[in-house]
Structure formats: C-alpha cells, structure tokens
Amino acid sequence: MPSLKEIRGRINSVSATLKITDVNRMISSAKLHKAQGSLNSFLHYKNSILSTFYDIINSLPETNIPLMTENTDAKKVLIVSFSSNTGLCGAFNTNVIKKTVETIDRYREKSYNVSLYTIGKKVYDGFSHNRDIELENVPSDIYDHQSYTQVSEIAEKVLTMYLNREIDEVVMIYNRFKNILTQYILEKKLLPMTNGDIRKDSYPDYIMEPDRKTLVNVLAPQVVKLAFYETFLESLVAEYAARSSAMQAATDNANDLLGELSTQYNKVRQSAITGELIDIVGGSEALK
C-alpha cells in the first residue's frame, strides 16, 4: 500500500494537470466560438459569390473555362492536407495523416505522380521523413493570422501550377466540424472545378460589363480561392472543437482520479490513525 506522502504527491501532480487541461478547455472553447463566427460570416459572402457565378454560367450558351476543363490524360495530382500545429486534440491529426496515406496510395495505384502540400506542422511532421513523396509545407504562422490574404496567396500558387499544367488535379483533405463532439474527415476535389452546383432553373438577366465570358474567367479563380479559405476555416473550427472536447475529457478524468486518490488517502490515513490508537491502548495496558 502506498504511503501518505506518495498519495499526496500524486494528488498534487493530478491537481496541477487538472488546472492545465481546464485552462486549455476554456481557451479552446473561446477560440471555437470566435472561429465559428468567422466561418458563418464568410459563408454568407461566399454563397452570394457562388450564386452569381453560377447564374452567369447558366446564362452562357457554352462554357469553356480553363479551371473547369478536365485533363483526360491526368497523371499528376496535388494533395493539400490540413492539420493543426499543436497536439492535445485527440485523433484530429492522426485521422488527417491516415486519410492522406490512403489517398496517396489510391492515386498511385492509378499511376499518378503525387505531390503533397501540408498546411499545419503535425501533418508535415508525419511525412517529413518520407523521401518517397514530393513535399512542401506552408509556414506554420498561417494559423496565427488566419488571414484571407495569406491563404489566398497559397491558393494562387496552386492555381498557377494547375494552369501551367504542372498538376492535373488538386484534392484537399481536412477535418470538418459537425458538433463539439464530432469532427469527420473529408476529401474534396478543388480542381478541376465541378459544375455539380450549377442550377438548371431560371437565372437573373444581369447587365454586365465586360462580357459574361470574360467575367466568368475572372471570377473562377476567386471562387477557387474562396473554396480554399472555406476549407481552412472548416479545419480550424474542427481543430478547436476537437481540442475542447479532448481537454474536457481529460479534465473529467482528472477529477475522477482526484476523487479516487482522496478516498485512498483517507483510508490510508484512517488506517494509520487506527494503528496508532492500537499502539497507545496496547502500551497503556502493558503499564497496568
């Protein structure tokens, strides 16, 4: 049986850990609330742009948009994986790495040349020792600023690579937020752009300057950048939710362990007191 000193040491250690997990939980919850607000505000803007973009496309007799043109001889794919810079968020980063490996294997089975673009230190660390893949990492301070300008610059590089035919497809892998307890891994094709969201019903008769085709080709890269930034924000919201949930679970476990240690401490202390009383009574009887 452990001594009172050993139990007190464990209680102090668990109490210190409890303070850390509880503070991290509160910080993550506050960041989650702020990130959700940013995402919701951004989605209103993005959806308005998308609605106008597809209205214009519907109004064209034919569409010939480079970013929507699929290369039938596609053999080069760029995978963009989003993770966090730090841990303490459960299986958040592990799921991204696992899904990225599965996607790489799937494309290689189709004889694709695969390159990987990592956004987040954890996914980069997961592949940094793999010399079998072309790897590029985005500076980790992107999560400090969460700036649309900085994220759109990354998207611009990807767009340039695609238009120069350095790559034929772009796929994004990230965690998507469902609720505070659930985040699910998602694979989404960024390029070539799909027309699956194009509405087939009536559209407003816009008066435009310049002409519609020119305007569509100007808007298309902006739509890609918006999709890239939306994915970045989705991953960020999911990260804060995963960390908040993980820290809540750790806090609950620490509280349970403190309860068990306190009970054990009281039992050992009571046993020690009982032993001392028996010794006193025994000594008293011996003196009679």
Number of separate helices (H) and strands (E) present in the chain: 6, 5
Residue 196 has pLDDT above 60, yes or no: no
Q: Are 123 and 100 in contact (CB under 8 A)?
A: yes
In this structure, are strands 134-137 and 169-179 parallel, antiparallel, or unpaired? Answer: unpaired
Q: List the Cα angle 264/270/276 in 5-degree steps.
A: 140
Element of type H or E holding 76: strand 76-82
Residue 24: CB atoms within 10 A of its CB come to 19
Residue 231 has pLDDT above 70, yes or no: yes
Q: Burial of 213 by CB count in 10 Å (0-12 exposed, 13-18 middle, 19+ buried)?
A: middle
pLDDT level of residue 50 (50, 70, 90 thresholds): confident
DSSP symbols for 166-221: S-SEEEEEEEEEEETTEEEEEEEEEESPP-TT---S-------SS-HHHHHHHHHH
Q: Which CATH class is domain 26-245?
A: alpha beta
Q: Which residues of 219-256 are buried (b: 16+ CB within 10 A; e: fewer)?
A: bbbebbbbbbbbbbbbbbbbbbbbbbbbbbebbeebee
Residue 116 has pLDDT above 90, yes or no: yes
Q: Are 134 and 116 in contact (CB under 8 A)?
A: yes
pLDDT level of residue 287 (50, 70, 90 thresholds): low
Say which residue, 172 or 205, is predicted with more confidence: 172
Nearest to 208 by CA among 52, 44, 63, 68: 52
What residue ranges do the domains of the chain occupy? 26-245
Give the single-character DSSP code of 67. G
């505000």: which residue's tokens?
41
φ, ψ (nearest 5 deg) of residue 91:
-90, 15
In this structure, are strands 76-82 and 182-191 parallel, antiparallel, or unpaired? Answer: unpaired
Please provide the average confidence, as pLDDT, over all residues in the chain.
Answer: 85
Beta strands across the sheet bearing 182-191: 134-137, 113-119, 76-82, 169-179, 182-191
pTM exceeds cut of 0.75:
yes
Q: What is the pLDDT of residues 250-286, one digit of tens each?
A: 999 999 998 888 888 788 777 767 766 666 656 655 5
CA distances from 75 to 169, 187, 206 (A): 8, 19, 39
pLDDT at 268: 73
φ, ψ (nearest 5 deg) of residue 4:
-60, -40
Name beta bridge partners: 100: none
Query: What amino acid is encoded at 154 in this protein?
Result: I
Residue 183 has pLDDT above 80, yes or no: yes
